[in-house]
Copies of this chain bind each other. A is one copy, B any other.
Amino acid sequence: MTPRTALWAEIAEAVATDIATGAYRPGDKLPSEAALATRFGVNRHTVRRALAHLSAGNLVRTRQGAGAFVAHRPTEYPLGRRTRFSENLRAAGRMPRREMLALETRAATGHEAAKLNLATGARVHMVLGLGRADGVPLSLNQSVFPAALLPNLPRDLSETKSITAALRRGGIFDYTRAHTRLSAEIATASQAGQLDLRIGAALLRTEGLNVDPTGRPVEYGTTWFAGDRVTLTVGGE
């Protein structure tokens, strides 16, 4: 008489099966809760309970207002000794796939000015980017460059789409890392949205300064990695 498994569990099972069989593939949008509700002949809350279960199991990810999506497989990003990335921990422009989210020129904050050894209020170019590997968002980074040193950076950057190339055009052919600092943070809502994480997820934060061969500060930036998708290795192997 009474089903041993709850209604919502059955629905979760059915959706999970659809995902396993490939009916819905990673990144696909699931039908809306309302659609699933009528399809299974239940209330929307029952569907929500099923989706919450799948979400807790990292099988689907929901975005308010947008829908529920099949989650990407939790890929470990191999960040080992062979990764060129490790020599430049902050990875300015060296991610497998980069996406530029913002590019603006504004006054340096006091902190930035101090790091870049600029007068307070000097102009800087700010670049915000998203790094992905195999389509999975891995890192979010923000860099600031002295505008006086690289007046044409915005144009060069929008043309070359590469920070390294843009710096080369600006006369900076090499730069090294002066210092790096590591810490951990909790994702804000917007960071979580961009990295496809749940809010409150852990972020690995690296902050660093790059200088040219003469020791002049060239770039100061911060990168936030999705804590559960990246392992950073420092030195050794």
Stoichiometry, copies per complex = 2
* 0 or 1 for each of A1-37: is its CB under 8 Å from B? (1 = yes): 0101101001100100010011111001001000110
Taking a contact as CB atoms closer than 8 A, the residue among B11, B106, B194 that contacts A190 in the complex is: B11
A41 interface residue, CB < 8 Å from B? yes
State the CA gap A200–B10 with chains docked (Å). 14
Q: Are B23 and A109 in contact (CB under 8 A)?
A: yes
Q: Are B190 and A101 in contact (CB under 8 A)?
A: no
A128 interface residue, CB < 8 Å from B? yes
Q: Which of A79-122 contact B (CB under 8 A)?
A: 101-102, 104, 106-111, 120-121
* Chain B residue nearest in CB terms to A11: B190
State the CA gap A193–B8 with chains docked (Å). 13
State the CA gap A36–B108 with chains docked (Å). 18
A152 interface residue, CB < 8 Å from B? no
- Asked whether A101 and B39 contact (CB < 8 A) given A22-B109, A25-B121, the answer is yes
A189 interface residue, CB < 8 Å from B? yes
Q: Are B190 and A42 in contact (CB under 8 A)?
A: yes
Interfacial chain B residues near A25, Cβ < 8 Å: 107, 121
Interfacial chain B residues near A121, Cβ < 8 Å: 22, 25
Q: Are B23 and A190 in contact (CB under 8 A)?
A: no
Q: Are A189 and B102 in contact (CB under 8 A)?
A: no
Interfacial chain B residues near A7, Cβ < 8 Å: 189-190, 193
